[in-house]
Structure 1
Amino acid sequence: MRTRRDATIAVVAGGGAVTTMLVGLVTNAVSAQSHWPSWLAWLQKHPWLSFVMLGVVTAGLTTLLAALDDRRAPGQSPEPTVRPDDGSDPPGAALVLRSLPRDTAAFTDRSAELESLVGSVRTAQETGEALLVHVIDGMPGVGKTTFAVHAGHVLAERFPDGQLFVNLNGHTTGRSPVQATEALASLLAATGVPTQQIPVGDDAGAIIEARAAMWRSQLAGKKALLILDNAASYRQLEPLLPGGTGCLVLVTSRKRLAAHEEVVLAVEALPPDHAVTLFVRLSGRSADSLDREVLAELVRLCGYLPLGVSLLAARIRHHPSWSAEDLHERLVAARDRLGELRAGERAVAATFDLSYRDLAPERQRFFRCLGFYPGTELDAYVGAALGSVSVAVARRQLDALYDAHLIDEHPGSRYRLHDLLRDYARGLADEGDSMDHVQAVQRVCTYYLAALAVTNEHIVRGGAIVPPPPDDAERMETPVMESRTAALSWLENERPNVLACIRQANGLALHDLVIRLAAAMAPFLRQAGPWDQAVGLHRTAAEAARHAGDQQALAGALAELGVVRRFMASYPEATEALNEAVTQYDAAGDRRGKADALNQVGIVWYLTADNEASARAQSEALALYRELGDRLGQANALADLGMVRRQTSNFDTAVEAQSEALSIYRELGDRYGEANSLRDLGIVHCLMGEYTLAAQQQREAFNIYKALDDRVHQAYALNELGVVQRLTGDPDGARDAHAQALEHYTELGDRFGRANSIRHLGVLDRLSGDLPMAIRVLEEALEAYRDLGSRGGEAASLSELGVARGIAREQDGAVDAFRQSLEILRDLGDRCGEAEVLNHWGALLRTSGNPAAGRGRFEQALGLARGIRCPLEEARALEGIGRCDRVIDGPARAEGRLREALTMYRQLGVSALADDIERLLVSQAG
């Protein structure tokens, strides 16, 4: 980097020297009083060439210096920059509209710019060329966003796959520019990508790349329109650009962006006659009734900016008795009062002031309160909280401000301040008591706590505890939400605003509000994600709790952080956070919180196959829940303890724990818990060879998950049902079940579930005889399990890979896979899995000409299977021993073991394996 920079400096220096020489040549050529030596004399005889070379060199240097300026470090730039996310600030979220904002009546003749844009798009689409990025730049208030939205409406039919509008907050007062990670997450969610599927992690650069790749894939081959409004820099918007050729991107910015392959559409102030025409149209007066010369002066005073012109026209429309001269007089007075403003915004700010002073005092106060709002969009409920008025009054105030052109209306009865008006409102607000700002933020945060309490009634499991809102939240009016769907829709719309309020509260050291809002948002972010956003939120809450010295709040934030880390498969970080939560809850004397944290860390240890630690944590949690009389907690701990017992092949105790959990869930009416227990009982009964019961339980679980619209767990039930179908001779049904589960997992971004489906499909490929496909698919599953740190999944994949490689006569590879799998399974204490691998290994040895060694493996498997009551592996071991004995000692010696295996297969309903033995016995008798 340093070498390249030094070389560039050398080029610039050399260029300067050449330029100086050329200037001398030009001067000498004109004077003709001296003569230059050698070839330079030729230049002196042709002075026009010197001028040409001077121009070329100067232009080149200008371009080079501009490029260097664009590459300055972010700290040197006077413009807003996008900071890397170092995790030190509360998370943000980008506001994305799934359709274009409403077209405005204030749009006036931009025919040249619009014709240029439409022509460019038409030409590209007709010739099949890639659509270039169109950058719309110009000063504040000139109408860049209005032009982009109007153009979007004009072009909408050419982009049938959707239109998206994103506010990047490049120059929004009180808001940091939207980071690429936030914008990409919001864009992906807006286009239908489930938030669980959006890549998450701690490496911001890697996450941007992963999300950008998914975004480009999402728009590949589509014709969509994307408006990136209010961009701060090209670096901010570059990851958001689609990769395909059929999408149009319109960018608005206050500064010239160095985008590649761009088309720049400069939106200038209106021509004077167009500004006058716009004024007349919006004023509601006839052109003849207004003095043309005074109108010309009015639009000149507001800089010919559409925003200022529309505000002036609104003033005269609302005052029928005013003349144009009256309006001019008032504008001049306002302009003088605001003389301290920057020159570029002075004129339009004067129009703001004129409109503001025309408001009634209570409406002026309401407008000032809007300047304190941390979010981007608001509705009447937020307005009521900010202004400390009723929702009915807030709705009237907002409608009046809209009529006065001091606020923009968006679909869904939502409103938004133009950036300059936000600046102006903030300036007015800052002139008052500094406590007004704090109190306004407190009021709007309290409103959101009240509204979140309503939404959480629909999305939190029955019996779960969510911290209640503060007492003063009872006075807040909240929207009516009568269903889970309505609650989730409200949460998705308000997410950016709630997170912005948390940022503002954190900046004002309102620690209690930060803690409460983070806890209230936790249930939604658990299921909706993106989980890295949730991680940032809970880190902020934990830091706020440390500042406040609130041990219980700190424990709660750490517990939520640990849960989200578990969802992200970041198991070491999850364990660290949850263990600290246990310590903090213990110190605070909160036994319920401690039990919950123990239950959660026990789940992490189960997932990482630390079965001893998991059983210890769940047992301790269960004891605490029983002391507290917490029935839901007892059910959760019992269910998770049952899973640990099942993973260690203690099937009887697993059924006992899970059955007790199921009984409590049914007593409480907790359908979600009921389905989870049914699913795990189905797994245990499948391992115990009770296939009819297992299939019934998986179908019951699936039906409950479907009623709850829980697609993740539907997929888990489908996978387990597929296993039962495969074992009972229905490979087609099994493949359908696993394929459907895989589709769900892929859509939802559940990597662990997806790996399970792939492994099961690999087993079916092997059974169908497609060994190359089976090996490829099983290797994919193995890699996924290793990435996730799932040792149980790794062992299962290795076991199946060993079988497939053995059949493909890759004996060394098969033995190596079996050896690795056994090592993991013995470490995990999974005796059923160990018996299965030993049976597979015995079969490989028998078919490869070493029946004696194979018999030894089958004997080991038989002992394990009988010890844990795993009938399928017991039958497989008996069959293996019989087949080895048949080779070693003859048919007579083998018949006893083979008939034992046949009986067990018939009892299990495994017809195909039973038929194979029967044919063997018949041939023996013949």
Structure 2
Amino acid sequence: MIAAVAGAGAITTMLVGLVTNAVSAQSHWPSWLGWLQAHPWLSFVILGVVTAGLTTLLTALGDHREPVQRPEPAVRPDVGSGPPGAALVLRSLPRDTAAFTDRSAELESLVRSVRAAQETGEALLVHVIDGMPGVGKTTFAVHAGHVLSERFPDGQLFVNLNGHTAGRSPVQAAEALASLLAAAGVPTQQIPVGDDVGAITEARAAMWRSRLADKKALLILDNAASYRQLEPLLPGGRDCLVLVTSRKRLAAHEEVVLPVEALPSDHAVDLFVRLSGRTADTLDRDAVEDLVRLCGYLPLGVSLLAARLRHHPSWSAGDLHERLMAARDRLGELRAGERAVAATFELSYRDLAPERQHFFQCLGFHPGTELDVYVAAALGSVSAVVARQQLEALYDAHLIDEHPGSRYRLHDLLRDYARGLADGGDSMAHVQAVQRVCTYYLAALAVANEHIVRSGSTVPPSAGDAGHVETPVMESRTAALGWLENERPNILACIRQANGFALHDLVVRLAESMAPFLRQAGPWDQAVGLHRTAAGAARRTGDQRALAGALAELGVVRRFMASYSEATEALNEAVTHYDAVGDRSGKADALNQLGIVWYLTADNDASARAQTEALALYRELGDRLGQANALADLGMVRRQTSRFDEAVEAQSEALSIYRDLSDRYGEANSLRDLGIVHSLMGEYGLAAQRQREAFDIYKALDDRVHQAYALNEMGVVQRLIGDLDGARGAHVQALEYFTELGERFGRANSIRHLGVLDRLSGDMPTAIRLLEEALEAYRDLGSRGGEAAALSELGVARGIVGEQDGAAEAFRQSLEILRDLGDRCGETELLNHWGALLRTFGDPTAGRWRFEQALVLAQDIRCPLEEARALEGIGRCDRVIDGPDRAEGTLREALTVYRQLGVSASADDVERLLVSQTG
């Protein structure tokens, strides 16, 4: 039908054109079209008939089209306008519950389906467990997971998607994927980030599918809102089992639906008897049957009723029945879908002591989905000891679930009920509860930050009124990071709730306190959302200092994401606001970060100005860590512009301060950069020593990313002194680390260095393949310096295999970038390579001109290795142009420099050439 419409439309369009031009005498139409040109009025008739026919066809289509299906509710994409969210992911299944009752038919169906697929090698289908609230979907999924766990040895993951959780928006797919990838062991640096929610969702989903491609894992997606929400989370492998729970049927493809209905009457009675602590012969069977009928045969309601009877030994089943009937009368206005268990909630709640009732109400206000003793204490305004007692009592009464790690969670229906009870009282109760839990998190974050913030840095302050707040013990960096990862979803949920209640000061302080963790742990797009929210809150209150702090953090994270223009914009605005309030320390920090961004974008003059200004401010303030940071970053700018003496001076002063402050991380960074400078200056022994010292510190800090960077620099030094095997070992180990950790820039460096080694070893095909791979990676990352280095080496390799034009083009592109960057050392190396190419292909005069350019630069920046290479090149060109006598002096100069540097292989080559001349 669509084809018919399209065809008719095309004919109509053609006829309109023909008829419009039918009387044109400027051209003659071919074939049958000439007949139309000769009979224009008949053409109008044909056009009218076709138009009428098309109209009739479209009308018929409109009258008989299929009913439009209403799309399922979509999970609204998070476009970054609101506070970020995070998914709660358990790395193992929640505890199996004693309340599970006989679901033998459903369980057998699931086990049979899984067993059949595994035995035949077929792909495991998604199993959707649906049913009404309180029917036991999650309990069934968890129990089935425990039964099947041995069939999935590569792990079990449980994700709460908050599809119907009171006070929480459904988890976005991108959030859930980030949490799943982290839980599966993917380093946060490797998790894709960006501003395009759709793009990063696709990228994370692809990585997730790849991660589980050859695994046998079990994934429970609990409380799903729609198929659209969970579809990106589905593994691509054939051997992973996915169990989905939802309150409604999801339109999943290739699914197996396992409807979980209310319990059969006899099963509900058996569950009641088992949980009541009574024997069947001591209970009135008719009363029990009516009790389970009144709560809709739902396991949640049955377990609550049984718990009431167990806690009242003097009650009979008839007494419980009487109380339940009274509760149903009081709750008659509840929605029909919840009425079946609402009376059991009321009965259980009325059975609590007044202080426990209040505590239960407060739990309903928790913005997160899980809580521990300390959060509960903050919500209920009680001590941790009392909170623990209350939580244990509520768990015993089946009013709260326990998760691994002494963590607790309210069932969604119980959360609704608890919040409804509290909302019926003081309208400020919710706001005050959120204020209390945010104050607790500020205090706990201050404890955690003591372990993760670098020595000498300012730790974000605790809440001013947090002196009485109890916090968990965190005795190590590992413990602090573990606590932060567990609490991340809850803290971000608190920030969302605080933002909704216009608690702007709390939003700003929580964002500031989470910043050190998110800088390190990511994902950085989550941090961007957080700092944008904080900036918005600060703008509303007119707090320029807080606004500057949020913008500065936003700029730092944008730098991590290589979004340099956005980073510059945020940091420039931060400097302006710091200036406005006279905050010189904040301004210095922002300038330091601006200098780093300009260094990365090769605006070396601007970078040097920013670091120099920041250094002056730090000195005025007596901030020694700030001084060290600015000096170290200034040293890197000086190195990049080949001002090696100034680079050594700045970096050495930074190193001294870092050592005084016992800042091991800063010390290692300065040592590593000093090693690079010494290598460029031809001081290879000192360069190797500095890199080894840096590597040892990184190893002590368990920083594998920077260990890998040090390994690459060690490999470069080993290559320059002729130890190719040692160099290869270092680069291979670095590559393994970078690949494992997802550090793309470092990985590209390792690949480039290995390509150079293959070129020196004579394996040109491998060398070219690796250098092209490195070049592509640098371009993807936007690293112009890396691109220039790869192009330079690729030109050498192409020249060796006879591709003169390809080599020259690579050199041309590299030279253009290097001159834009102001990298004179890189330019010198490239000019030497280009001179060698021209000499090899029979143009020694042009080659000599390139070598002369290189010599001038090398002597100007004091780069002895490139000076020796230039001298050697000039001598070899002179030997061809004017004969051996003209070349001897220059070649001997090159030999002397090579011997001084300890570059034995090159020195031996020159010496053999000189011997051959005299021979």
Q: Identity across aligned pairs (percent)? A: 86
1:891 positional shift: 1.3
- Given candidates 493, 497, 511, the residue that maps to 1:500 is 493
1:372 aligns to 2:365 (yes or no): yes
- Given candidates 711, 719, 724, the residue that maps to 1:718 is 711
1:201 aligns to 2:194 (yes or no): yes
1:829 aligns to 2:822 (yes or no): yes
Equivalence for 2:120: 127
1:606 aligns to 2:603 (yes or no): no
Equivalence for 2:509: 516
Greater Cα shift, 769-778 or 164-173:
769-778
1:459 positional shift: 0.3
Residues 350-361 of structure 1 aligned to structure 2 (within 5 Å):
350-361=343-354
Deviations 1:43-86 (A, max 9, x none): xxxxxxxxxxxxxxxxxx99975xx43x52x6xx4xxx411111
1:430 aligns to 2:423 (yes or no): yes
1:872 aligns to 2:885 (yes or no): no
1:328 positional shift: 0.4
1:475 aligns to 2:459 (yes or no): no
- Rounded Cα–Cα distance in structure 2 between residues aligned with 1:339 and 1:698: 75
- Rounded Cα–Cα distance in structure 2 between residues aligned with 1:575 and 1:460: 24
SS at match of 1:801: helix
Deviations 1:850-894 (A, max 9, x none): 111111111111111011110000000011011111111111211
Residues 65-80 of structure 1 aligned to structure 2 (within 5 Å):
68-69=68-69, 72=71, 77=73
- Rounded Cα–Cα distance in structure 1 between residues aligned with 2:559 and 2:336: 54
Gap runs ≥5 in structure 2: 7-62
SS at match of 2:534: helix
1:232 aligns to 2:225 (yes or no): yes
1:347 positional shift: 2.1
1:335 aligns to 2:346 (yes or no): no
Equivalence for 2:810: 817
- Rounded Cα–Cα distance in structure 1 between residues aligned with 2:583 and 2:704: 34
1:543 positional shift: 0.5
- Aligned partner letter, 2:654: A
User: Do the aligned partners of 1:234 and 1:258 also contact (CA within 8 Å) in 2?
Assistant: yes
Equivalence for 1:731: 724
1:747 positional shift: 2.5
- Given candidates 256, 266, 291, the residue that maps to 1:263 is 256
Deviations 1:391-434 (A, max 9, x none): 00000000000000000011111100001001101101111111
1:783 positional shift: 2.1
Greater Cα shift, 107-116 or 899-908:
899-908
Equivalence for 1:22: none
- Aligned partner letter, 1:508: F
Residues 565-580 of structure 1 aligned to structure 2 (within 5 Å):
565-580=558-573
Equivalence for 2:436: 443
SS at match of 1:472: coil
- Rounded Cα–Cα distance in structure 2 between residues aligned with 1:710 and 1:792: 25
User: Do the aligned partners of 2:85 and 2:175 also contact (CA within 8 Å) in 1?
Assistant: yes
- Rounded Cα–Cα distance in structure 1 between residues aligned with 2:816 and 2:109: 69
- Aligned partner letter, 1:919: R
1:691 aligns to 2:684 (yes or no): yes
Deviations 1:692-714 (A, max 9, x none): 10011001001111111112211
Residues 482-631 of structure 1 aligned to structure 2 (within 5 Å):
482-631=475-624
- Given candidates 749, 767, 776, the residue that maps to 1:774 is 767
- Aligned partner letter, 1:524: F
- Aligned partner letter, 1:550: D
- Rounded Cα–Cα distance in structure 2 between residues aligned with 1:63 and 1:497: 48
1:758 aligns to 2:756 (yes or no): no
Equivalence for 2:108: 115
- Rounded Cα–Cα distance in structure 1 between residues aligned with 2:214 and 2:776: 30
- Given candidates 630, 634, 655, the residue that maps to 1:641 is 634
1:731 positional shift: 1.4
SS at match of 2:220: strand
Equivalence for 1:151: 144
**Structure 1 pair 511/882, CA: closer, same or farther in 2 (3 Å)?**
same
User: Do the aligned partners of 1:608 and 1:789 also contact (CA within 8 Å) in 2?
Assistant: no
- Aligned partner letter, 2:347: L
Equivalence for 1:83: 76
- Rounded Cα–Cα distance in structure 1 between residues aligned with 2:820 and 2:90: 52
Gap runs ≥5 in structure 1: 8-60
SS at match of 1:264: strand
- Aligned partner letter, 1:129: E
User: Do the aligned partners of 2:91 and 2:158 also contact (CA within 8 Å) in 1?
Assistant: yes
Question: What stretches of structure 1 move > 6 A for 4+ residues in a row?
Answer: 61-64
User: Do the aligned partners of 2:450 and 2:459 also contact (CA within 8 Å) in 1?
Assistant: no
- Aligned partner letter, 1:125: Q
1:846 positional shift: 0.7
SS at match of 2:572: helix
1:3 positional shift: 7.1
1:759 positional shift: 1.4
1:673 aligns to 2:649 (yes or no): no
- Rounded Cα–Cα distance in structure 1 between residues aligned with 2:101 and 2:827: 77
User: Do the aligned partners of 1:716 and 1:753 also contact (CA within 8 Å) in 2?
Assistant: yes
**Structure 1 pair 731/120, CA: closer, same or farther in 2 (3 Å)?**
same
- Rounded Cα–Cα distance in structure 1 between residues aligned with 2:905 and 2:313: 92
User: Do the aligned partners of 1:197 and 1:747 also contact (CA within 8 Å) in 2?
Assistant: no
User: Do the aligned partners of 2:788 and 2:813 also contact (CA within 8 Å) in 1?
Assistant: yes
1:309 aligns to 2:302 (yes or no): yes
Deviations 1:739-782 (A, max 9, x none): 22222222222222222222111111211212222222212222
- Rounded Cα–Cα distance in structure 2 between residues aligned with 1:64 and 1:280: 53
User: Do the aligned partners of 1:379 and 1:414 also contact (CA within 8 Å) in 2?
Assistant: yes
- Rounded Cα–Cα distance in structure 2 between residues aligned with 1:480 and 1:3: 68
Cα RMSD over matched residues? 1.6
Equivalence for 1:412: 405
Equivalence for 1:17: none
SS at match of 2:428: helix
Greater Cα shift, 774-783 or 131-140:
774-783
- Aligned partner letter, 1:450: A
Greater Cα shift, 707-716 or 204-213:
707-716
Count of matched residue pairs: 863
- Rounded Cα–Cα distance in structure 2 between residues aligned with 1:732 and 1:374: 57
SS at match of 1:776: helix
Equivalence for 2:170: 177
Deviations 1:157-194 (A, max 9, x none): 00000011000000000000000000000000001001
Equivalence for 1:856: 849
Deviations 1:224-278 (A, max 9, x none): 0000000000000000001011000000000000000000000000000110010
User: Do the aligned partners of 2:551 and 2:571 also contact (CA within 8 Å) in 1?
Assistant: yes
Equivalence for 1:16: none
User: Do the aligned partners of 1:466 and 1:519 also contact (CA within 8 Å) in 2?
Assistant: no
TM-score (norm 2): 0.93
Deviations 1:817-836 (A, max 9, x none): 11121122122221111111
Equivalence for 2:14: none
SS at match of 1:474: coil
User: Do the aligned partners of 2:631 and 2:653 also contact (CA within 8 Å) in 1?
Assistant: yes
Deviations 1:872-926 (A, max 9, x none): 0000001101111111111121111111111111111111111111111122221
SS at match of 2:78: coil
Equivalence for 1:52: none
Equivalence for 1:459: 452
User: Do the aligned partners of 1:197 and 1:746 also contact (CA within 8 Å) in 2?
Assistant: no
User: Do the aligned partners of 2:449 and 2:460 also contact (CA within 8 Å) in 1?
Assistant: no
1:138 aligns to 2:155 (yes or no): no
- Rounded Cα–Cα distance in structure 1 between residues aligned with 2:146 and 2:460: 45
- Rounded Cα–Cα distance in structure 1 between residues aligned with 2:599 and 2:154: 44
Deviations 1:668-724 (A, max 9, x none): 111111001000000000000000100110010011111111122111111111110
Deviations 1:89-108 (A, max 9, x none): 10010000000000000000
- Rounded Cα–Cα distance in structure 2 between residues aligned with 1:258 and 1:850: 71
- Aligned partner letter, 2:173: A
- Given candidates 890, 899, 902, the residue that maps to 2:892 is 899
1:396 aligns to 2:389 (yes or no): yes
